[in-house]
Amino acid sequence: MKKKQKRKIGAHPGAVVFTGNRKVEKISIHYLEYNEATVNSQDLDNQSITSFHEPVDNLIQWYDVRGLHDTALIEEFGRVFNVHPLALEDVADTQQRPKLDEYPGGIFITIRALRFIAAERRVESEHIALYMGPAYVLSFQENEVDCFNGVRERILAGKGRIRKRQADYLVYALMDAVIDQYYTLIDEVEEAIEALEKKILENPDNTIKSEIHSLKQEMLLVRRSIAPLREVVTAFDRLEGQLVTDATAFFIRDLRDHIIQIVDLVETYRDMLNSLHDLYLSELSYRMNNVMQVLTVISTIFIPLSFLAGVYGMNFDYMPELHWRYSYFILLAFMTLVVVGMLSYFRRKRWF
């Protein structure tokens, strides 16, 4: 979960400095323009973006960039689309918390995509930035994994409302695609918790405590990534009448409800992890008590046996039993009866 963060020490405000640790092999730019009647899609190189900056009547333009380490490319987008330098700075700052900023002629939003790596029981976080102008949207994804493929396919297929709406609805759809992935993550975390619970009840080894602690840390990361989205979506909703249409505002409010629900689920699973820790300690204590119970029974059985062995091991001259022909066998038989009798008594008492 934790990774070393690069700092922009000494950099001036608005400086575009990539702070991430992951660089994609090749940055890709996908361009898509559409309205209700037509749609055009193509891949661009770094030099061709300037030829597509002119707005077209009744067309929504969407530029999707995957890979953030090329700061010159980010600055070029800023120059072409007149994006505020502070917004460009936040595009390259992969440690930025989710937020919404208003700039003249545009809205800037940062959000985090989360994926659960089940094999390693860790959460992978990806920085995503969105910039919306009057008739265009710029999206920047940190990794090669395309979070917006479902949205793109709906646009190309003409499904849903996207091609009938304005740029604000596209931004809503992109945010909704990321937030829908949170539900998948929550389901996978639930499965991991159930697997841990089963492991605790069946075989609580020494690794479980560290696994629980690690998963709690991951859920803390999830909460920190999701909780600020309530403020983001609320601020987005309040833009109604400016760059946000009345029709889109209804969907944004539904998005806020989803976030509240997800945050509640995250808190529930964090409580479940705390309960798992208590269950782990209780199970260890229970198993230790069982071991101590068995050892106590064994020790209790040997108390009378040790007494008998001690009495007849004192070697006094006047102990007539020592000179009986069958005294040894009689003593062994009596000891056996003592053991059987005590075991029967403990069994009736359910002590083992």
**Is the distance from CB of 179 to CB of 145 less than 8 angstroms?**
no
Alpha-carbon gap, residue 61 to 55, rounded angstroms: 8
Tell me what pLDDT residue 295 has: 87
Tell me what pLDDT residue 350 has: 79
Domains of the chain, earliest start first: 28-282 (3.30.460.20), 292-348 (1.20.58.340)
Tell me what pLDDT residue 151 has: 94
pTM over 0.75: yes
Tell me what pLDDT residue 258 has: 93
> Residue 65: CA atoms inside 13 Å, Cβ hemisphere, count?
26
Tell me what pLDDT residue 327 has: 80
Tell me what pLDDT residue 48 has: 66
Tell me what pLDDT residue 54 has: 65
Give 209: exposed, middle or buried? Use CB within 10 Å, 0-12, 13-18, 19+. Answer: middle
Alpha-carbon gap, residue 158 to 32, rounded angstroms: 13
Alpha-carbon gap, residue 120 to 123, rounded angstroms: 9
Tell me what pLDDT residue 18 has: 86
Instruction: Going residue by residue through the chain, which has 352 residues, state the pLDDT in tens, using 9 for 90 and above.
Output: 445 555 555 567 778 888 887 888 888 999 999 998 999 998 887 666 666 656 677 899 999 999 999 999 999 999 889 999 999 999 999 999 999 999 988 999 999 999 998 888 889 999 999 999 988 999 999 998 899 999 999 999 888 889 999 999 999 999 999 999 999 999 999 999 898 888 888 888 888 888 888 888 999 999 999 999 999 998 888 886 667 888 888 899 999 999 999 999 999 998 998 888 888 888 888 888 888 888 888 888 889 888 888 887 777 677 777 777 788 888 889 889 999 998 898 888 877 6
**Is the distance from CB of 218 to CB of 123 less than 8 angstroms?**
yes
Alpha-carbon gap, residue 338 to 331, rounded angstroms: 10
Terminus-to-terminus CA distance in the chain, angstroms?
45
Torsion from C-alpha of 309, 312, 316, 322, nearest 10 degrees: -150
How many angstroms separate the Cα of 245 from the Cα of each of 44, 119, 213, 251, 258? 30, 43, 45, 11, 20
Query: What are the residues facing 34 on neighbouring strands?
Result: 39, 60
Alpha-carbon gap, residue 4 to 141, rounded angstroms: 20
